[in-house]
Amino acid sequence: MKKYIAEFLGTMLLVVIGCGVAVYTEADVVATSLAFGLSIVAIAYSFGCISGCHINPAVSTGLFLTGKMKSKDYVGYLVSQFLGGFAGALILGALYGSFSSLGANSANGNMIVALLVECILTFVFVSCVLFVTSDKDNSNIAGLVIGLTLALVHLLGLGFTGTSVNPARSLGVAILQGGSALKDVWIFMVAPIAGAFLAAFLYNFMTKKR
């Protein structure tokens, strides 16, 4: 249960801080990118020793598909992450006194571009997680590398979709914000998981022994 609690708390904090900064700065590219990236760094070095700091269903999917997670833990992590994302959205709405703007993702009227952007950026992010954590010698810097990579993909994705690459980050805020955010939320469920599948395929191919 400690692993699931860590995933719940980590995802909740990611949403509160990352989406909170996005709302406060009106999605300033640099500020929002740093908020999400640095949140991952802080959470990784806090809870990473307990749960591995996935706090993202796409990351858990990639690790599951590469044989680094058992099915029982996989399901438990997903439930914890989505509940954490919803709790984070509730806290954010309470802090701002309104649920009308919670930093939800949007396709901005172009579904195909949104799907491609989210799939590609998630592929980059999850690939980084899979490869950097595959070598135990990287354990001291893995959290920093992963956090900076998340900030990197946000720098590009914010202008297209607001950057999700994390279904748990998107679902809770979309449900509470409603409107077009809820209409588009399926994109931010499907595309990141597709990106995780591609990342797992690449990792398995590149590390497969002859």
| Residue 23 tokens, joined | 């709302």
Structure pTM?
Answer: 0.95
Buried b (16+ CB within 10 A) or exposed e, 93-123: beeeeebebbbbbbbeeeeeebbebbbbbbb
Widest distance between CA atoms in the chain: 58
Q: For the chain, what is the domain count?
A: 1
Pair 162, 25: CB distance under 8 Å: no
pLDDT in the model for residue 3: 96
Containing structural domain, residue 168: 2-207
Q: Residue ranges of the chain with pLDDT lower than 70?
A: 209-210
pLDDT in the model for residue 210: 52
CATH number at residue 67: 1.20.1080.10
pLDDT in the model for residue 139: 85
pLDDT in the model for residue 209: 65
